[in-house]
Amino acid sequence: MSNQNTFDAVVIGAGFAGMYMLHRLRNAGFSTRVYEKGGGVGGAWYWSRYPGARCDSESIYYNYTFSEEIYQEWSWSSRYPEQAEILRYLNFVADKLDLRRDIQFDSEIAGAAYDEANNHWRIDLKDGTSVTAKYLITGMGCISVNATNIPQIKGLDSFEGAWYHTGAWPHDKVDFTGKRVGVIGTGSSGVQSIPVIAQEAEHLTVFQRTPQYSVPAGNHPYDPAFIQQAKENFSDLRRQMHESMGGIPVETNNRSALDDTTEERERIYESGWGKGGFYMLNAYNDLMINEEANETVSEFIRTKIRDTVQDSEVAEKLMPTYYFGTKRAIIDTHYYETFNRDNVTLVDVRRTPIQEVTAKGIRTTDGGEHELDILVFATGYDGMTGPLLKLDLRGKGNVSLREKWADGADVKTYLGIAMADFPNMFMITGPQSPSVLGNVPVAIEQHVEWISNCIQHLHDHGVETIEAQADAQAQWSSHCRELADHTLYSKADSWYTGANIEGKPRGFNIYLGGYGPYNQKITDIAAKGYEGFSLKTSAAV
């Protein structure tokens, strides 16, 4: 790594996003440096080493598609890849593209400020050093290790056992054998880790705030013939993924759930349940917009929970009431079954909230003390805006992003890519992009390709600065809100709306128009000379 301190572009984060961004910009001849907090590539997959960690997109889709060579060379072992396998994949890509020489690891960014006099960004690292770059590109994603949610529970400092957050898991294996373990949280991380920890621990206590709908993953090893077929269909697969609504080609049933008889609906839901994965979300076209339609699938899953969990009191505690799919949908391997084990206790912290962490464990408001040796926070992230707000980002006139987004509710971005007052800054899958509601690597590719094409265009046309126009940004943000208001998503208490973080005002910062239509939209905007952006040449700035 050179001691260079001026670059064409600085990219924050070496996960799926930062790695591809580096590859594209470097190939186009732009000097680029990636800063990464971790000691290796992988982003969330570098940090989330908790037991049972897996991706919930099917592996033949959960990869880069920009390079047919990479797609042909790599073979996934199972339908839903484990964290370790995804990390191996990303390391394979980093080797293949020789990315590491331009990534500075173990380096955390503190903030960045736009210098108007020189038209560049000054990027400050936590170690006190600074570099400058013409373009600043954030690649931390919608959830990031810099924005883990660790609830402020009284007494945590006094806990004599060990505690961990699923999204910042130690690299050495945590041994649960013979231990009394507590898990707080039942989102994807909790639902994945609980069955695995239960098998190892002497006793597991699950502290549940919101009961969840979870559908069996139906994970299984891949048949080599299936992988071969995917490889042979690579071009079609890539096209279908990028044109689809969520980065995975799925057939949507174009009927309302209310148009079918109860028996027909049950048959369709049963088939989705059996296939595993997210198919049930697409069982009908109105599950995410019509409360009555949604209730049919929600009740189907509740019945499955009642049928699975033997103790009816425990089953009732596990009964979700929100609209299925409005929190990030979860898939599992033996989640509900785990509550039939003798060594597992479920504590409903809505009925008996956590009062404090004591030296020995967790005390709930009913006076009970749950003795623990290990406490696991599967409590998620300050998502969407959190990863950006953890940085001290300052645009034109030293305007601070934290001040701009101080109320944390609906924020303003243009296309989830750029912001007014922050010239020459791009966000890969920022707030108000569609990424989080789908198979994220596809959304990342769309953004990275758009951003690198944009930078090439600016270079070719002698453009010094690009900045989102305030009115275009306002229109985009209200468009995102209008789409959300037609759905049930914005009604849920979820990390999509910010309801998971104490004191964070409710917003909804995801574009719900789907990956394919979104990609078409941003492509058209570029073709129209970057409509909604102000481009200034050297003479004009």
* Residue 152: count of CB within 10 angstroms of its CB: 6
Q: Which is nearer to ligand NA7, 136 or 428 (CB)?
A: 428
Q: Which stretch binds ligand NA7 (CB under 6 A): 1-9, 264-272, 276-284, 373-381?
A: 373-381
Name the residue among 388, 349, 387 with its Cα closest to residue 368: 349
Q: Is 377 left (phi over 0), alpha (psi -120 to 50) or beta?
A: beta
Q: Which is nearer to ligand NA7, 190 or 386 (CB)?
A: 190
What does R_g of the chain's alpha carbons equal in angstroms?
A: 23
What one-character DSSP code corresponds to residue 130? E
Distance separating the N- and C-terminal Cα atoms of the chain: 33
165 binds ligand NA7 (CB under 6 A): no
Contact with ligand NA7 (CB under 6 A) among 24, 26, 54, 209: 209
Minimum CB separation of residue 381 from ligand NA7 in Å reads 6
Distance in angstroms (rounded) separating the CA atoms of residues 504 and 45? 26
Site residues (CB under 6 A) for ligand NA7, limited to 339-368: 349
Distance in angstroms (rounded) separating the CA atoms of residues 501 and 209? 13
Lay out the site mask for ligand NA7 across 316-335 (x = CB under 6 A, - = otherwise). ------------x-------
151 binds ligand NA7 (CB under 6 A): yes
Q: Which is nearer to ligand NA7, 461 or 506 (CB)?
A: 506
107 binds ligand NA7 (CB under 6 A): no
* 484: amino acid identity, one letter: A
Contact with ligand NA7 (CB under 6 A) among 144, 189, 282, 452: 189
Q: Which is nearer to ligand NA7, 465 or 497 (CB)?
A: 497
Minimum CB separation of residue 241 from ligand NA7 in Å reads 18
503, with CB counted inside 10 A (0-12, 13-18, 19+), is: exposed
SS (H, E, C) 270-299: HHHHHHCHHHHHHCCCCCCCCHHHHHHHHH
Contact with ligand NA7 (CB under 6 A) among 17, 21, 143, 437: 143
Q: Which is nearer to ligand NA7, 143 or 455 (CB)?
A: 143
Minimum CB separation of residue 182 from ligand NA7 in Å reads 11
Q: Which is nearer to ligand NA7, 216 or 395 (CB)?
A: 216
Give the SS3 label for residue 205.
strand
Distance in angstroms (rounded) separating the CA atoms of residues 494 and 514? 19
Minimum CB separation of residue 494 from ligand NA7 in Å reads 7
Q: Are 258 and 293 in contact (CB under 8 A)?
A: yes
Q: Which is nearer to ligand NA7, 151 or 532 (CB)?
A: 151
Name the residue among 351, 449, 378, 388 with its Cα closest to residue 27: 449
Contact with ligand NA7 (CB under 6 A) among 15, 51, 380, 498: 380
Q: Which is nearer to ligand NA7, 90 or 378 (CB)?
A: 378
Give the SS3 label for residue 56.
coil
Site residues (CB under 6 A) for ligand NA7, limited to 474-513: 495, 500
Contact with ligand NA7 (CB under 6 A) among 32, 57, 138, 166: 166
Q: Which is nearer to ligand NA7, 28 or 174 (CB)?
A: 174
Contact with ligand NA7 (CB under 6 A) among 57, 65, 219, 379: 379
Measured CA distances, 484 to 185, 489, 496, 523 (Å): 26, 7, 11, 23
In the block, residue with structure tokens 């129209």: 528
Q: Which is nearer to ligand NA7, 11 or 349 (CB)?
A: 349
Nearest residue to ligand NA7, using CB?
A: 187
Which residues make Cβ contacts (< 8 Å) with residue 352, sequence separation at least 6?
364, 365, 366, 368
> In this structure, what are the phi and psi dihedrals at residue 77, rounded to the nearest 5 degrees?
-90, -30
186 binds ligand NA7 (CB under 6 A): yes
Q: Which is nearer to ligand NA7, 190 or 423 (CB)?
A: 190
Contact with ligand NA7 (CB under 6 A) among 32, 188, 429, 432: 188
Distance in angstroms (rounded) separating the CA atoms of residues 466 and 536? 7
Contact with ligand NA7 (CB under 6 A) among 187, 246, 272, 516: 187
105, with CB counted inside 10 A (0-12, 13-18, 19+), is: middle
> What is the contact surface with ligand NA7 in residues (CB under 6 A)?
143, 149, 151, 166-167, 184-190, 209-210, 328, 349, 378-380, 495, 500
